[in-house]
A and B are shown apart, each in its own frame.
Chain A
Amino acid sequence: MTKQQAAVDGTLLFLLGTIAFLGFDDTYAGWTYLIAGVAGLLLGILIAFVGRGQPVVVLAVGLLAAFFVLGGAVALHGIGDLSFLPVPDTVGTLADNSVHGWKRLLTTLPPVDGGALLTIPYILGLLAGCLGFAMALRMKAALPPVLVAFALLAGVILLGVQDPSKTALLGALFGALAITWLCIRGMRARTLASTGGRRLSRTAIGAALCLGAAGLAFLGGPLLPGLAPERTVLRGEIEPPFNVGQYPSPLAGFRVYTKGYQTPEDDRRLYEKDLFTVSGLPEGTRVRVAAMDSYDGTVWRAANDSGVTEGPEDTFRKVSSTLRNPLADGKQVKGTITIGEDFGGVWVPLPTALTHISFDGPDADSFRYNLATSTGVLPSSLKPGDSYSFTASVDDAKVGEKSEPWSGGSPIGDEAAQFQALAAEYAGGGDSPMTNALAVAEKLKSEGTYTDGEPPNQQYPAGHSLRRLADFTAKGGQLAGNDEQYAALMAILANQVGVPARVVLGAVVGSDGVIQGKDMHAWVELRMSDGSWATLDWSEFMNTEKPPQQNAPQPEELVTGKVVPPPAPVRPPATSGDPLDESVNQKANSRPDGFTLPGWLVAVLKYVGVPILLVAAVCGAIIGAKLWRRHRRRTRGTPVARLSGGWRETLDNARDYGVGVPVGATRREQASVLSAAPGLDAAPGLALLTDTTMFGEEHPADAEVEAFWEQVGSLRTSLSDSRTRWQRIRAAINPLSLVPARVWRKR
């Protein structure tokens, strides 16, 4: 293959790879994925080119070296101070992502931030570039290297999203280029009977046919019958491993926020303690801690999938900093929430319809978000002092009597069927489900009383299990409870009258943005006919001003005789943890007052300087390794070993200049090969000296060995002097001689 042909193959493979990587445009945020993929592609092609004619194992070693040495600079440069260097952490991260990154990519809600997941396009690029170009160089058949490009495209599609954009354009471009490459290689593979004009006309006709086919595919492809209605991607086949049901319901622990919470431990009474501080959000914005859309007879809890089949996906998925949120059609606001000393746990306070989030402090990698409930969890737990900024679309729709409810089913099952009669009684026979739901709310508000179970109302315990709610609503008794019982019952009764409902725990942002325990409330959200959820505020179904009567009559009967287990133990929000280190905070917030580099220069240094530094470091390491090897060969071991080392040093020097010798040959045979190269005329003499000293009856003396090494040095100088400066530099940084000789068929 000529250099021109190799250049054509390399260019076409590069273009095909680049087009294939553009398929990640909807999978990754930004364009860093393209840099990683293209860098991998170029490196792969370079490795295949440098390793042409060498065994496959050499290519494999080159790929591994490129992956681990340059992987940090290409894929991890933005996630740590030294991540661009091949330090142990970087190598570990690369290794980890090469194994687990695929799963992380598929289980993260797209678009995915770059970060460590850029390792995936980098690996794909390296493999496709090296494999494709090596096949192009080594095989005459036209198809194999083109198949590698197709495999890369298939990989990108499988790892991508189900509804990408620009598929037709990219597909047509890719197809046209692939066919062109196939034709070019096919023409090379067979000997044409004629040349000149006939060959030119064939080429022109072929190119025109390719363009025509590509255009036809672009225009008519989507209309062809038999096409799968949905794109097959691995993302759709993978079950997210996260289970939100493992966390206790925050509604069950609501009483810790109340004024009347009875506990001997003062620090667990959060009524007047700062839980978190909200800045940037307008006053009156609702901040949601948790949305509970499943009732199991014991507690309302957040479910992995509430069974709602339409609308946004009701699962907690890993997300990147940017989300494509289908509910984000309201007013966009930016805000920041800082966690106080008395708040913690896994539930992340957020407004509705999040579109962007960035954490300052906690481990953002574990953050998961549920698009259907607009709530987030952080399995690694929030800690005092943690802060995060976000952009969200806040749209607090209120329920009206004329609103039409969702008719697609209730999020809860038959667990609360016993409240059917009660719901009908409270509703009073309205003409629509929504009217009935509002009537229930009005009934609860008008007849209900409020207590946190403080003395003398200890008979009204916490919890919202069926038994507690049955007691709550027993005939002859009085409705007495707080947000927990009222919201739980309201949501159950709303579901019974035909309006899908769920319970939300959260707070409304006040003027100062500080959320204390007393600001925490539970409200109900009702699902509207368009699939959205409208807020039914706690003030609509709960009268906080009316205390229970002490001489109220005892309830006549329990609604149910079913033995209901006690509520699940609820861990109160964590209050432990180190206080915020002010000094660290101040240090982090401080800005240097001195000279700062322009942004463009920083960018250039980051993307150009760092790789150059890395390459320089690699070259330095190679030169250092050779110097160390030479020193070791000259000074370590017996005289015989040093003598043998001197000859091996000569062979390695020659190898660095591209002069190889047969393995297993005698030194004089090797020397006869070497002597044909410029600057190595003295090699046969040195080989004879080595052999006669080595195989003589007497062991070589130290002085003899030292004199021999002087000759080794002279030969090295002679070899170096016979070459150009550029050849000397290439030889100095040529790593091939560092590979053990047994790896090579020829040294």
Chain B
Amino acid sequence: MTVTQEQARWFHDTFEKLADNVEKAVLGKRNVIRLVLTALLSEGHLLLEDYPGTGKTQLARALANTVQGSHARIQFTPDLLPSDVTGVTVYDQGKGTFEFHPGPIFHSIVLADEINRASPKTQSALLEVMEEGRVTVDGATREVGRPFMVIATQNPIEQAGTYRLPEAQLDRFLLKTSVGYPDQNATVELLMNSSVRDRATLVTPIITAPTVTQMAEMADQVYIDPAIVAYVSALVDHSRRHKHVRLGASMRGCLALVRTAKVWALAEGRSQVLPDDVKALAEPVLCHRLILDPEAMFNGVTVEDVIGDLLTSVPAPQERVS
């Protein structure tokens, strides 16, 4: 079963409405919003990394607000315990039984603010739930339900008192992006409406959680030609053999690129993936999965440079596989 053109058009319209809605909170960041929505509709998790005051939290909260479902915010601190995230089993003296008190992770959209401030032990509490959508506490496994999305933020500047996310944890984020400072027009508009203390409150829910799940399932049906799959494979393969890369993209990264490309294609109203979709998503999907050679880093080479080089050196497919 494939996606029809009418379904693609509906998906596109819905996607644009969601983007418009979120944009009420984050002005002038249409492409970032589209990436965030792509992560949501791919049923993946998003890592927002940027300087303080760029609107990371606003964006995450706006996204949570636009979906009519439960959402929670966890402020990660060094003394945060895993049980503070996943929940805890408490003995009820009245009933004489142990009762599970679910943590904030049991919401559809979870905002993990400043995730790198928590200890690795607490960060690792997210591993299972982010990959498998369930939590195991005291030997009991509990599903978190669908949709489920973790939006984590972190600050790249402050190093003191932070714990760098382990590679396994990073690999579980579908996309990583940054918001960036608003442009001149957006800045002026924000200042003109400075009376609005919390712009995320301007975002009202316009889509239900089941609809999000339905859209994600629709995206799975988007056709992707083997030529484009081969292109994705070639990109990832080249990332592993690049002279400046110590660790290339994983198979999870490969899958992420295909899944997000499908959503991106539908968001543009197409029922088939094009090489442009892959190119558009290569950087946010792969940038946190590559580890550069220390010498290259010392010489000022960035992950973005390497991905740009990959996209230039691997020719995009021009013809389908007959």
Partner of A694, one of B279, B315, B319: B319
Partner of A640, one of B270, B272, B320: B320
Partner of B316, one of A638, A666, A697: A666
Complex: how many Å from CA A669 to CA B275? 10
Assess the B316–A692 pair: CB atoms within 8 A.
Answer: no
Complex: how many Å from CA A644 to CA B321? 12
A696 → chain B closest CB, angstroms: 5
**Within 8 Å of chain B (Cβ to Cβ): is A668?**
yes
Assess the B2–A691 pair: CB atoms within 8 A.
Answer: no
**Within 8 Å of chain B (Cβ to Cβ): is A597?**
no
Assess the A695–B320 pair: CB atoms within 8 A.
Answer: yes
User: Which residues on the B side are within 8 Å of A599 (C-beta)?
Assistant: none
**Within 8 Å of chain B (Cβ to Cβ): is A141?**
no
A73 → chain B closest CB, angstroms: 41
Partner of B315, one of A638, A647, A663, A695: A663
Assess the A666–B227 pair: CB atoms within 8 A.
Answer: no
Assess the B318–A644 pair: CB atoms within 8 A.
Answer: yes
User: Which residues on the B side are within 8 Å of A666 (C-beta)?
Assistant: 274-276, 279, 316
Interface flags for B254-290 (1: CB within 8 Å of A; 0: not) read 0000000000000000111111100100000000000
Taking CB atoms and an 8 Å cut-off, the chain A residues in 671-708 that contact chain B are 691-692, 694-697, 699
User: Which residues on the B side are within 8 Å of A664 (C-beta)?
Assistant: 312-316
Complex: how many Å from CA A688 to CA B274? 9
**Within 8 Å of chain A (Cβ to Cβ): is B223?**
yes
**Within 8 Å of chain B (Cβ to Cβ): is A641?**
yes
User: Which residues on the A side are within 8 Å of B223 (C-beta)?
Assistant: 695-697
Assess the B318–A667 pair: CB atoms within 8 A.
Answer: yes
Interface flags for A622-651 (1: CB within 8 Å of B; 0: not) read 000000000000000010110010010000
Select from chain A the residue with minimum beta-carbon distance to B274. Answer: A691
**Within 8 Å of chain B (Cβ to Cβ): is A552?**
no
User: Which residues on the A side are within 8 Å of B275 (C-beta)?
Assistant: 666, 691, 695
Assess the B274–A697 pair: CB atoms within 8 A.
Answer: no
**Within 8 Å of chain B (Cβ to Cβ): is A584?**
no
User: Which residues on the B side are within 8 Å of A692 (C-beta)?
Assistant: 270, 272, 274
B226 → chain A closest CB, angstroms: 10
User: Which residues on the B side are within 8 Å of A647 (C-beta)?
Assistant: 318
**Within 8 Å of chain A (Cβ to Cβ): is B84?**
no
**Within 8 Å of chain A (Cβ to Cβ): is B249?**
no
User: Which residues on the A side are within 8 Å of B228 (C-beta)?
Assistant: 695
User: Which residues on the A side are within 8 Å of B272 (C-beta)?
Assistant: 692, 695-697
Complex: how many Å from CA A738 to CA B238? 32
A740 → chain B closest CB, angstroms: 14
Complex: how many Å from CA A667 to CA B227? 14
Partner of B319, one of A644, A668, A669, A696: A644
User: Which residues on the A side are within 8 Å of B2 (C-beta)?
Assistant: 697
Number of interface residues of B (CB under 8 A): 22
**Within 8 Å of chain A (Cβ to Cβ): is B225?**
yes
B307 → chain A closest CB, angstroms: 15
User: Which residues on the A side are within 8 Å of B322 (C-beta)?
Assistant: 638, 640, 699
User: Which residues on the B side are within 8 Å of A669 (C-beta)?
Assistant: 276, 279, 316
Complex: how many Å from CA A696 to CA B318? 13
B319 → chain A closest CB, angstroms: 5
**Within 8 Å of chain B (Cβ to Cβ): is A1?**
no
**Within 8 Å of chain B (Cβ to Cβ): is A223?**
no
User: Which residues on the A side are within 8 Å of B319 (C-beta)?
Assistant: 640-641, 644, 694
Taking CB atoms and an 8 Å cut-off, the chain A residues in 575-589 that contact chain B are none
Complex: how many Å from CA A695 to CA B222? 11
Select from chain A the residue with minimum beta-carbon distance to B228. Answer: A695
Interface flags for A653-671 (1: CB within 8 Å of B; 0: not) read 0000000000111111100
Complex: how many Å from CA A666 to CA B275? 7
Assess the B276–A668 pair: CB atoms within 8 A.
Answer: yes
Select from chain A the residue with minimum beta-carbon distance to B322. Answer: A640
Complex: how many Å from CA A535 to CA B237? 93
Select from chain B the residue with minimum beta-carbon distance to A668. Answer: B276
User: Which residues on the B side are within 8 Å of A696 (C-beta)?
Assistant: 223, 271-272
Interface flags for A231-252 (1: CB within 8 Å of B; 0: not) read 0000000000000000000000
With A640-B319, A668-B276, A669-B276 as contacts: A695 and B227 at CB distance below 8 Å: yes
Complex: how many Å from CA A694 to CA B225? 9
A647, A663, A666, A669: which has the most chain B beta carbons within 10 Å?
Answer: A666
Assess the B273–A695 pair: CB atoms within 8 A.
Answer: yes
With A641-B319, A695-B227, A696-B223 as contacts: A668 and B274 at CB distance below 8 Å: yes
A301 → chain B closest CB, angstroms: 73
A434 → chain B closest CB, angstroms: 91
User: Which residues on the A side are within 8 Å of B270 (C-beta)?
Assistant: 692
With A640-B319, A641-B319, A664-B315 as contacts: A691 and B271 at CB distance below 8 Å: no
User: Which residues on the A side are within 8 Å of B273 (C-beta)?
Assistant: 695
Complex: how many Å from CA A696 to CA B312? 24
Complex: how many Å from CA A640 to CA B227? 13
Complex: how many Å from CA A664 to CA B276? 12
Complex: how many Å from CA A394 to CA B314? 81
User: Which residues on the A side are within 8 Å of B274 (C-beta)?
Assistant: 666, 668, 691-692, 695
B279, B314, B318: which has the most chain A beta carbons within 10 Å?
Answer: B318
A640, A665, A667, A695: which has the most chain B beta carbons within 10 Å?
Answer: A695
Complex: how many Å from CA A695 to CA B230? 13
Complex: how many Å from CA A669 to CA B228? 16
Select from chain B the residue with minimum beta-carbon distance to A647. Answer: B318
Complex: how many Å from CA A47 to CA B109? 66
Taking CB atoms and an 8 Å cut-off, the chain A residues in 592-639 that contact chain B are 638
User: Which residues on the A side are within 8 Å of B312 (C-beta)?
Assistant: 664
Complex: how many Å from CA A615 to CA B298? 58
Assess the B320–A694 pair: CB atoms within 8 A.
Answer: yes
User: Which residues on the A side are within 8 Å of B276 (C-beta)?
Assistant: 666, 668-669, 691
Complex: how many Å from CA A640 to CA B320? 8
B227 → chain A closest CB, angstroms: 7
Taking CB atoms and an 8 Å cut-off, the chain B residues in 296-314 that contact chain A are 312-314
Complex: how many Å from CA A647 to CA B314? 20
Complex: how many Å from CA A644 to CA B318? 7
With A691-B274, A692-B272 as contacts: A665 and B320 at CB distance below 8 Å: no
B280 → chain A closest CB, angstroms: 10
Chain A to chain B contacts (Cβ below 8 Å), 16 pairs = A638-B322, A640-B319, A663-B315, A664-B316, A665-B316, A666-B274, A666-B275, A666-B316, A669-B279, A669-B316, A691-B276, A692-B272, A694-B318, A695-B225, A696-B271, A697-B2
Given A695-B227, A695-B320, 16 further pairs, Cβ under 8 A: A640-B319, A641-B319, A664-B313, A664-B315, A666-B279, A667-B318, A668-B276, A669-B316, A692-B270, A692-B272, A694-B318, A694-B319, A694-B320, A695-B228, A695-B272, A695-B275
The 9 closest A-B pairs by CB, nearest first: A664-B315, A697-B223, A666-B316, A666-B275, A695-B225, A691-B274, A696-B272, A666-B276, A668-B276
